[in-house]
Amino acid sequence: MENDVMEQEKADALQLSAPSELSEIEKAESVLGIDRSLFEEPKFWSLQKKRFIKYRKVLWFIIPAALFSLIFSYIPMLGVVFAFKDPGHFNLYRYDLWHELTNGYWTINNFGNIFNDKFFVSVGNTLLINVIKLVICFPLSIFIAVQLSELKSQTMAKVVLIVICIPNFLSWAVVIATWAGLLDGDGGALNTLLVTLKFNSPNHPLMQEAGLYKFFVIFLSAWKGAGWGCIMFYAGIIAIDKSFYESATLEGANRLHKMWYLTIPMIIPTIALMLVLNISGMLATGLEVVLPLFDMILADEAQLTLDVYLYDITIVNQNIPMAATLGVFNGLVGLTLMIVGNLVTTKTLHRGLW
């Protein structure tokens, strides 16, 4: 009895919602066999489902990257909480993590304590190195990519590209050791040449000159990374439709014109992307280069960079709260720089990350 009533209510409801009669358009659609649902915006989840089914094979490629990000980028972010622990009551040697997280002693003073002399010296050095790298190394990669694209022989271009990319596959330890050997004051091949050409005095090993520390960080970064850095730009250039160049030739453009008015504008999106990514890393110099070079060149605290400073706090002093604080600070500044960089490139180059 109760079921009968419910069935009747359902039938009434359907009757109410159904159109009393079909419109002319709907009749036409019906006659032509057009499925109206095809023109309706699909629901969000059904769209995701369709996409998932369609691209399910591609997703396998994303899983490792996603896991990598999760394990090495997102899970470590839980450590941000250490930035608010009092270093004077934080002892992971004697007590376990849970004890340290639950014993109180929370503080915000760490964010004040990081602003000391070493911090300002290291931020200054880091920014100086990165600004110079941005001004020199970044355009250098674009320059190399453009020059490679101008080579008539594609085979030669590829050979050159492979050769200049080789340093990128060497570890920093090998790179530094190689250059240290070349510039060794006692028989280094390059040093001997420099001495012979009177560019260096006989008893003056360049890679022990603390004043040249920043120079070597920049120089070695350029030497190692310029080839690899140009790949993105080179890929962007070879993807440009050749008909544009043919048209430009017909219009009377010479190679320089084509390079300046066609090639570079066409890779502006890539340049913008790479620029924003470079700007967001302004507070990082790469520990793997600065630390061995720091020791090799016998640099002093006046040459400190943020990475070395953070290494000292974390590994040497084992001051986890301060290291976390500096890490949080670096992360926030990096994020801010990325946003600012994106705003700037959007305004000036009309391209950005989002």
Footprint of another protein on this chain (CB under 8 A)?
86-89, 91-94, 107-115, 180, 184-187, 192, 195, 202-205, 207-208, 296, 298, 300-301, 315-319, 329, 332-333, 335-336, 339-340, 343, 354
Return the number of the residue (103 or 318) whose C-beta is nearest another protein: 318
Return the number of the residue (204 or 257) whose C-beta is nearest another protein: 204
Locate 185 and state its tokens: 């004051």
Longest dimension (CA), the chain: 110
Q: How far is the CB of 220 from another protein (least distance, A)?
A: 16
Q: How far is the CB of 291 from another protein (least distance, A)?
A: 12
Return the number of the residue (188 or 236) whose C-beta is nearest another protein: 188
Return the number of the residue (233 or 329) whose C-beta is nearest another protein: 329
Q: How far is the CB of 324 from another protein (least distance, A)?
A: 13
Q: How far is the CB of 301 from another protein (least distance, A)?
A: 7
Q: How far is the CB of 281 from another protein (least distance, A)?
A: 17
Return the number of the residue (187 or 252) whose C-beta is nearest another protein: 187
Return the number of the residue (60 or 354) whose C-beta is nearest another protein: 354
Task: Annotate 242-260 with b (16+ C-beta within 10 A) or e (fewer).
Answer: eeeeeebeeeebeeeebbe
Q: How far is the CB of 232 from another protein (least distance, A)?
A: 25
